[in-house]
């Protein structure tokens, strides 16, 4: 496997990972020459396909995929090959690793030197991560995104937010092999959404864990990132498509700078000096990648591995969780919710919003012991459906459904989404407060603004209780310090 690494600190290519180029050549030599036209048509139909995909499929199944036969027919290439001839031609090829009788695509072996993702990947809730996450979730509708005059760049700023996301387009578009235009940049933003938000949390979580252990760079297999956000490819072409989407998002993060100063004041715990929290940095920087050998000179191709590092702003505050706050529930539990249907996408959006808001309200949570067993419960106030579906908008959005021809489906999606969150252990208590008028028309506003008491399960409950206890101690110490200060008359 050839390497396209830009970082000199990356380890060398692991042994034993070279593609079976000679086997592919032998395969094509053994089959009749009419295949050339068919192969060309099949590759042209999907830019993500490779000869390697075709060889692996043939070796595993003894026949061409249906998409190949369709491409051949469209190109007028007459395939006279029988299954017996194909089987004979592929007999000496190595079978694709872990190929199953069900026809699922092969699993990829993690190369040497590439570490698995951390066992625990929490949702990052610090304001700068939230700003990028909101921008990514707003991407499909381009909500709050606007072009900058005189530059190929876009700016995102949510309502009442002090932070902005600046997306610089020239380097990104060149990297992806796209035209340098505002339209191309907007199209990349439209490709984001909740999966891109989940991936962002995975990447920042991975970089922070290693940064706090003194390791600057993270090298990760793209297939591990695909799995971490809940995707399960069923074939080699589908896996390649997922790799491409993940790679485009990685490039997008690298091109996004978070600009501004968050609200509030933060002091150094030792010197008590105010900390300058102005940001003008990307949260994630891509420093290297490894491409399949046959694509080593294609800058827009999806790599097998990427090496990245926390951006300068995160690197500066690594280990300071008062600044780099998080909610201590594994974000992969949200990613594990099937999002193919609207109710699943809504469940992911609600879960991400709840984690964000539980963390933001945790310092002032009401922690109590209830019941005969004195179990802990935490109350962080009420939410509304608008609160929870508008922060990180899913697809379809709340307004899409309510403004569509069948607005009643919003109620069904909500009900099923709450059921999924309970099923996946993300909600421990759910209660609707008050009532919504039971009528066919005009119910939407009351339903959107109905109060909801939603509380986390054990992991989240313990996290909120710990934060509340710590914050209460800080407030108490601050109160005592103020009480000891001399008044104006005493000072005189």
Tens of pLDDT, residues 359-391: 999 999 999 988 778 788 999 999 999 999 999
Please give the pLDDT value at position 211: 67
Please give the pLDDT value at position 100: 36
Instruction: Tokens for 134, please give them.
Output: 């909101």
91/27 Cα distance (integer angstroms): 10
Please give the pLDDT value at position 371: 79
Please give the pLDDT value at position 335: 95
Whether residue 228 sits in one domain with residue 364: no
DSSP 8-state class, residue 168: E
In a domain, 7, yes or no: no
Contact between residue 37 and residue 309 where contact means Cβ atoms under 8 Å apart: no
Please give the pLDDT value at position 72: 64
In a domain, 266, yes or no: yes
Whether residue 166 sits in one domain with residue 81: no
The tens digit of pLDDT for each residue in 290-332 reads 877 655 445 567 888 999 999 999 989 988 888 999 999 999 9
Whether residue 435 sits in one domain with residue 329: no
Whether residue 287 sits in one domain with residue 163: yes
Please give the pLDDT value at position 147: 95
In a domain, 246, yes or no: yes
pLDDT at 104 exceeding the cut of 50: no
pLDDT at 492 exceeding the cut of 90: no
Radius of gyration of the chain (CA): 26
In a domain, 97, yes or no: no
Please give the pLDDT value at position 157: 97
Please give the pLDDT value at position 435: 87
480/81 Cα distance (integer angstroms): 86
Q: Which residue has the higher pLDDT, 91 or 36?
A: 36
249/109 Cα distance (integer angstroms): 23
Whether residue 131 sits in one domain with residue 61: no
Please give the pLDDT value at position 284: 94
Instruction: Tokens for 23, please give them.
Output: 């086997």
418/406 Cα distance (integer angstroms): 20
Please give the pLDDT value at position 101: 36
Query: Judging by beta carbons within 10 Å of its beta carbon (0-12, 13-18, 19+), is residue 406 exposed, middle or buried?
Result: exposed
Whether residue 292 sits in one domain with residue 186: yes
Number of domains in the chain: 3
Q: Range of 145's domain?
A: 122-336
In a domain, 15, yes or no: no
In a domain, 13, yes or no: no
What residue has token string 């010197």? 271
Whether residue 131 sits in one domain with residue 86: no
Of the residues 50, 67, 90, which one is the last residue of a structural domain? 90
Strands of the 284-290 sheet, one edge to the other: 218-221, 305-310, 284-290
Whether residue 181 sits in one domain with residue 65: no
Contact between residue 79 and residue 69 where contact means Cβ atoms under 8 Å apart: yes
DSSP 8-state class, residue 250: H
Average pLDDT over residues 118-139: 94
Whether residue 86 sits in one domain with residue 132: no
Please give the pLDDT value at position 54: 67
Whether residue 382 sits in one domain with residue 326: no
The tens digit of pLDDT for each residue in 165-209 reads 999 998 899 888 889 999 999 999 999 999 999 999 999 998 887
CA dihedral 67, 72, 73, 77 (to 10 degrees): -170
Whether residue 155 sits in one domain with residue 292: yes
Of the residues 309, 336, 363, which one is the last residue of a structural domain? 336
DSSP string, 2-21: --B---TTSPPPPTT----H
* Overall residue count recorded for the chain in this entry: 492
Whether residue 200 sits in one domain with residue 309: yes
208/121 Cα distance (integer angstroms): 10
In a domain, 480, yes or no: no
In a domain, 101, yes or no: no
Average pLDDT, the chain: 81
């Amino acid at each position: 496997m050839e390497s396209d690494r830009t970082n000199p600190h990356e380890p060398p290519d692991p042994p034993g990972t070279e593609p079976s180029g000679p086997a592919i050549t032998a395969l094509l030599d053994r089959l009749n020459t009419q295949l050339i036209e068919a192969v060309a048509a099949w590759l042209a139909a999907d830019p993500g396909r490779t000869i390697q995909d075709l060889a692996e499929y043939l070796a595993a199944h003894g026949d061409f995929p249906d998409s190949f036969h369709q491409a051949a027919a469209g190109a007028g290439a007459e395939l006279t090959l029988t299954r017996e001839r194909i089987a004979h031609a592929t007999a000496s090829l190595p079978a694709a690793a872990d190929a199953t009788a069900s026809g699922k695509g092969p699993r990829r072996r993690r190369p040497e030197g590439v570490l698995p993702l951390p066992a625990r990947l929490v949702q990052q809730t610090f304001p700068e991560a939230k700003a990028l996450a909101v921008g990514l979730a707003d991407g499909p509708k381009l909500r709050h995104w606007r072009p900058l005059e005189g530059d190929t760049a876009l700016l995102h700023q949510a309502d009442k937010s002090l932070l902005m996301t600046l997306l610089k387009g020239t380097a990104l578009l060149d990297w992806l092999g796209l035209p340098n235009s505002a339209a191309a940049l907007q199209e990349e933003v439209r490709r984001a959404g909740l999966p891109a938000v989940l991936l962002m949390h995975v990447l920042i979580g991975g970089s922070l864990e290693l940064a706090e252990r003194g390791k600057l760079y993270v090298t990760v297999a793209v297939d591990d990132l695909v799995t971490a956000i809940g995707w399960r490819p069923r074939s080699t072409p589908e896996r390649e498509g997922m790799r491409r989407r993940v790679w485009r998002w990685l490039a997008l993060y690298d091109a996004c700078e978070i600009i501004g100063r968050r609200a509030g004041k933060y002091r150094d715990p030792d010197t008590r000096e105010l900390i300058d929290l102005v940001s003008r940095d990307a949260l994630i920087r891509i420093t290297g990648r490894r491409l399949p050998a046959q694509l080593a000179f294609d800058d827009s191709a999806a790599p097998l591995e990427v090496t990245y590092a926390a951006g300068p702003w995160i690197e500066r505050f690594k280990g300071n969780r008062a600044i780099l706050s998080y909610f201590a529930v594994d974000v992969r539990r949200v990613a594990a919710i099937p999002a193919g249907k609207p109710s699943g996408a809504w469940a992911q959006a609600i879960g991400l919003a709840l984690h964000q808001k539980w963390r933001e309200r945790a310092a002032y949570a009401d922690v109590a012991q209830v019941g005969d067993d004195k179990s802990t419960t935490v109350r962080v106030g009420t939410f509304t459906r608008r609160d929870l579906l508008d922060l990180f908008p899913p697809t379809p959005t709340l307004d899409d459904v309510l403004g569509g021809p069948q607005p009643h489906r919003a109620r069904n999606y909500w009900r099923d989404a709450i059921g999924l969150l309970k099923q996946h252990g993300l909600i421990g208590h759910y209660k609707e407060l008050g009532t919504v008028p039971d009528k066919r028309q005009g119910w939407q506003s009351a339903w959107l603004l109905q109060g909801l008491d939603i509380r986390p399960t054990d992991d989240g409950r313990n996290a909120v209780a710990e934060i509340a206890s710590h914050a209460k101690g800080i407030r108490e110490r601050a109160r005592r310090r103020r009480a000891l200060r001399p008044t104006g008359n005493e000072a005189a």
